[in-house]
Structure 1
Amino acid sequence: MTYSLDQDARAILLPAFDNLNFAHVVEPFLQNGGCSVLIGETRAEYVSRAMSNERLAAETPALFQAFVEKLKACCPDLIVAVDQEMGGIRRLQGLVPALPELADANKLTDDALAERCFLTAQAARRLGVSMFLAPIADVVDGQNPWLRNRTMGPDAQTVSRLVSAYVKGVQRAGITAVTKHFPGFNDLDADPALVDVSLQTAPDRILANALPFAAAIAAGTKAIMTGPAPVVALDGTNAASTSATVIALLRGQFGFDGLIVSDDLDAPATMRGNSLLETAVASLTAGADLLLVAGGPHIEALCDGVVAAVRRGTLSAGRLADAAARVRKNAAGH
């Protein structure tokens, strides 16, 4: 099947929404080529690492499932993503069996842990979810307010074991695991979602701490998310999600040939003073396939801007088409 530039420009976007009241915004997007949504959480829920009492009281599995089915009426092959981290943010709290707490996960065998992850993912699949933006593979051995209470430990070997079991378990249930945030952010002074901050870690330490990403790839992770801030040892100018150098490392030395998902392109440490459109074009050009952005009415203008960038020659039509094809392949379950 041949797709238009307009359809490709929509296929590569993953718009995020913090409630279940966005069908009117996203339906035209899906009807015109979009094939992904992130059903996310509010900033307060993100910061607290827990869903609000109001959400827990209002949302039921039946309500969530019915909403997803409404979206799939517009796009049957729809990527429905959520944050479902082990030890961190769990968007499906109260809707599916809980993932084990880290203390419990560390006591389980690899097979038992994978089974627990499978049961959570199996229930999520019944709700219509097809992608977990997890596991977090960052090994944090310094400070990192952005990932506080979200990571799985300061030891690369331990994190590798947990990441591998998570990937195997959730993907056995038909959920795509998006291992994040490559190449790993062990020590950040501030939250890149709030300020422009960079990772200053030495290259040998970065590679040593990236062991969990190699473990995830060996376990078959279908997707990897790049990070939201520059990694100075690799590329001091561009955030990992807009860096051709970082993505070349992932494709080359790490041998990953699956779907590359950007982190939130709206983050100050990712935009670095550029517009959202400029950041999206830079991320695609660097080699990312699926771009995470805040959802809203501005999505249509962003899509039009991506098309205009191709027509101006700022963005390769082939690169856009390749990214869109990778996203559609995942949406179709391949």
Structure 2
Amino acid sequence: MARLHGRFGPLPRWVVAVGAVVLIAVAAVWYVTAGSGTPAENARTSGPSTGASAAGSPSPSADCATTLVAKLTLEQQVGQLVMIGTPIETPLNAVPAIQRYQLGGIFLAGRSTASAASLKEAIGQLQAAAPTTGLGLQIGIDQEGGQVQTLKGADFPAIPTAVNQGKLDDATLAANTAEWAGRLKAIGVTIDLAPVADVVPADVGKANPPIGGFDRQYGSTPEPVAADVATVVTAMQGAGVLTTLKHFPGLGRVRVNTDKATGARDDVTTADDPALQPFVKGIEAGSAAVMISSATYPKLDAANVAAFSAPIVTGLLRQKLGFDGLVLSDDLGAAVAVNSVPLGQRAVRFITAGGDVALSVRLSDAGPWTDALIAAAKADPAFAARVVESATRVVRAKVRAGLARCA
């Protein structure tokens, strides 16, 4: 439910009343105009939803996605489960891998000050290289703000850190987020790997290298972070760019960066932890995706990092929290946290745990990952069924993003 309180206290009753009247009027206009087409026509012309279909209830595109996935070969289904990084400065380096391995997603890695026009042209060329399955590429990027902002320069002004975004009132945060997302939408980015839903306790702060060390958190307590995350999800997806809540079930308490070392561990988080609230609220706001961390959470699963943990991905996220949207991994390629696991098995173990899209920042991982996934599917009917299930979620998200259409 949307908050009726701003950052500076309760809103006056007359504001709430006027707002209700306006909403009723807008709803009536929408019903007359948007509701006049057939369901299929409305689905084809609508942008990414900001509703809560990803929170557990079936998506309107579920049947469509099932039909589209049934037409794909195993190799094409597997390709949908992989998002591979390509340097943002030379994005077309990914074209051979896209075509050879029939990839479904590309992550634009690094930093760039290139113009919007040049980036739009390059992303258009990537889309033109997509396999001839009728499915466009999911184009992902890290555009959080602060030091984690892939695109900067004249066409992409600096975005404040999440710590500073968290100091804004709701309306300003929503308006700013929509403006930032609109710039991504205009060049063809379809999914932002944001917002960060991690809560960094005040007594941890900068001692938390992956999040607190860069001010990537919206705050130090669950409730305000949850409110900001819901605001960002609604605003960004309203502007046409899918969102990704990260890094489930939370990286705010760890003392090690999973990208750079092993041993990232959270001995506190449980299935009922208040720090999960930002993920819950982001899911309720309709976030298309959730990203899984590569830290260990002994109270949830003492044997596996989260990305390889069925109790965390399937048990906690899918079943307890009811999320049936897209589940992405954090980087499973260059990240040191998972380097003890054979390369191809990283993708297999993530999908086995209940994930949908294995992410690597390295182009060279496309071959080993798709080969391993195909081999596992051929050897194990249960894993082959997981491939179909995850490919269906991927395609459902693509329908939502306007990257696929139903007949």
The two structures have a TM-score, normalised by structure 2, of 0.73
Report sequence identity in percent: 28
**Residue in 2 that maps onto 1:177:** 243
**Residue in 2 that maps onto 1:144:** 208
- Going from structure 1 to structure 2, the CA distance change for 1:244 and 1:145 (only over 3 Å counts) comes to same
Once the two structures are overlaid, the 10-residue window that deviates more, 169-178 or 304-313, is 304-313
Greater Cα radius of gyration, structure 1 or 2? 2
The CA deviation at 1:263 is 0.7
User: Does the CA contact (< 8 Å) of 1:25 and 1:296 recur in 2?
Assistant: yes
**In 2, Cα distance between equivalents of 1:213 and 1:11:** 25
The CA deviation at 1:192 is 1.2
The letter for the 1-side match of 2:283 is I
- Going from structure 1 to structure 2, the CA distance change for 1:227 and 1:101 (only over 3 Å counts) comes to closer
Deviations 1:41-92 (A, max 9, x none): 1xxxxxxxxx4xxx43xx1111111100101112262211100114451112
The CA deviation at 1:241 is 1.1
RMSD of the alignment, in Å? 2.1
1:199 matches 2:279: no
1:262 matches 2:329: yes
**In 2, Cα distance between equivalents of 1:74 and 1:167:** 30
Once the two structures are overlaid, the 10-residue window that deviates more, 106-115 or 76-85, is 106-115
The CA deviation at 1:145 is 1.0
**In 2, Cα distance between equivalents of 1:298 and 1:99:** 31
The CA deviation at 1:11 is 0.9
Once the two structures are overlaid, the 10-residue window that deviates more, 16-25 or 301-310, is 16-25
User: Does the CA contact (< 8 Å) of 1:13 and 1:36 recur in 2?
Assistant: yes
Unaligned runs of 5+ in 1: 42-50
The CA deviation at 1:111 is 2.7
**Aligned partner of 1:11 among 74, 77, 80:** 80
**In 2, Cα distance between equivalents of 1:253 and 1:144:** 27
- Going from structure 1 to structure 2, the CA distance change for 1:227 and 1:290 (only over 3 Å counts) comes to same
**Secondary structure in structure 1 of the residue aligned to 2:337:** helix
Once the two structures are overlaid, the 10-residue window that deviates more, 207-216 or 12-21, is 12-21
Superposition pairs for residues 164-313 of structure 1, below 5 Å?
Answer: 164-204=230-270, 207-247=273-313, 248-266=315-333, 267-271=335-339, 273-313=340-380
- Going from structure 1 to structure 2, the CA distance change for 1:252 and 1:304 (only over 3 Å counts) comes to same
**In 2, Cα distance between equivalents of 1:72 and 1:200:** 40
The letter for the 2-side match of 1:325 is T
**In 1, Cα distance between equivalents of 2:250 and 2:164:** 24
The two structures have a TM-score, normalised by structure 1, of 0.88
The CA deviation at 1:254 is 1.3
**In 2, Cα distance between equivalents of 1:314 and 1:146:** 38
The CA deviation at 1:186 is 2.4
**In 1, Cα distance between equivalents of 2:99 and 2:171:** 38
The letter for the 1-side match of 2:196 is I
The letter for the 2-side match of 1:21 is T
User: Does the CA contact (< 8 Å) of 2:147 and 2:161 recur in 1?
Assistant: no
